[in-house]
Amino acid sequence: MSIVEKAGANVLKTNFGKKAKKKKDKLTDETPDMPAPRQEREIIELDHQRLTALGYFNPDAPSSQLALELRAVKRRLLRRLGYLRASGARQALRTPGRQRNLILVTSTRAGEGKTFTAINLALSLALEDNIRTLLIDADFARPKVRARLGLPAAPGLADCLLDDAVDTAGLGWRVKDTTLEFLPEGARADRPSELFASARSQRLWNDIAMADPDRLVIVDAAPVLATTDAVVLAKYVDEIVFVVEANSTPEPAVAAAIDELIDINANVSVMLNRCQIGAGGAHYGSYEYYDRARPDEEPEAAEASKKE
């Protein structure tokens, strides 16, 4: 059986509530080099026109194909994290020391759509569902979130990993009038895998998770076969969204990468990116949980989905 199965039929059944706010203000893209660390979190505005032109989620187009597909992805993800139950309220699936709010986005190899997916999930969770969401760029080899969002270089995750005295709380940006925050990659880090494996890193991810238990944290990471970064990060997170570019990455490579992750963290789900559904362009076509050891859904959630 293929490790990736189409779940496109689910796409149109989903319906996540609120319509997002309208934001069309311009963002300055003249970016100075690395400025001095800031003491307070800065407030920024996103250029949604530009993001939409790049193919990203547009809060003003709640019926777009992308918005619909993202809803299907979010629904499964939120259920796994305990956000969506029959009651509609988040219930405590937390285990001691774990908030179930850290989500790693990775893939087998470069260019499969990790950053595209991480940004879309963060935009959609925050702007459509009003869930507090922190997007972190942890792909130190190819950090691209900042550029995609049109933001300048700034201190970020690497600074916190390199220096105990630097706290994530004062870094990063808050997107004006939304529940979205973004922590950039920060300083250049020469040996990211070692940094991620450090005791400081373990504390830092724990602090990020505990800082706001109801905030979701989306971590854009390097691909599994390129470095050990993603595998190291896998041990700190609660869920892993594994992006597979449709009709591109050879299945044995995908399986090898997933096996590496599963050895560390069994909560891996596969998301097929750029698959063709109908006459349209590139779509998210599938979101299937790879972990066969655990039930696919909590019993209440399964009941709820039957009623949808």
Smallest separation (angstroms) from Mg ion to the CB of 234: 17
- Kindly state whether residue 85 participates in binding ligand ATP, applying the rule CB under 6 A: no
The CA-based angle 184-188-190, given to 5 degrees, is: 130
**Residue 198 C-beta-side C-alpha neighbours within 13 Å:** 15
Closer CB to ligand ATP, 118 or 304, in the complex:
118
Q: 3-state SS string over 226-262?
A: CCCHHHHHHCCCCEEEEEEECCCCCHHHHHHHHHHHH
- Kindly state whether residue 192 participates in binding ligand ATP, applying the rule CB under 6 A: no
Closer CB to ligand ATP, 265 or 273, in the complex:
273
Quick note: the x/- pattern for Mg ion over 139-158, rule CB under 5 A, is -----x--------------
Q: E strands along 61-178, which residues?
A: 102-107, 133-137, 173-175
Quick note: the x/- pattern for Mg ion over 88-117, rule CB under 5 A, is --------------------------xx--
- Kindly state whether residue 274 participates in binding ligand ATP, applying the rule CB under 6 A: yes
Nearest to 239 by CA among 128, 81, 91, 120: 81
Which tokens belong to 128?
A: 């459509």
Quick note: the x/- pattern for Mg ion over 228-247, rule CB under 5 A, is --------------------
Which tokens belong to 97?
A: 């020391």
Taking contact as CB under 6 A, which single stretch among the options 20-28, 41-49, 91-99, 110-118 is the one that binds ligand ATP? 110-118
Contact (Cβ atoms closer than 8 angstroms) between residue 220 and residue 118: yes
- Kindly state whether residue 107 participates in binding ligand ATP, applying the rule CB under 6 A: yes
**Residues found near ligand ATP in the complex (CB under 6 A):** 54-55, 107, 110-116, 139, 142, 144, 223, 273-274, 282
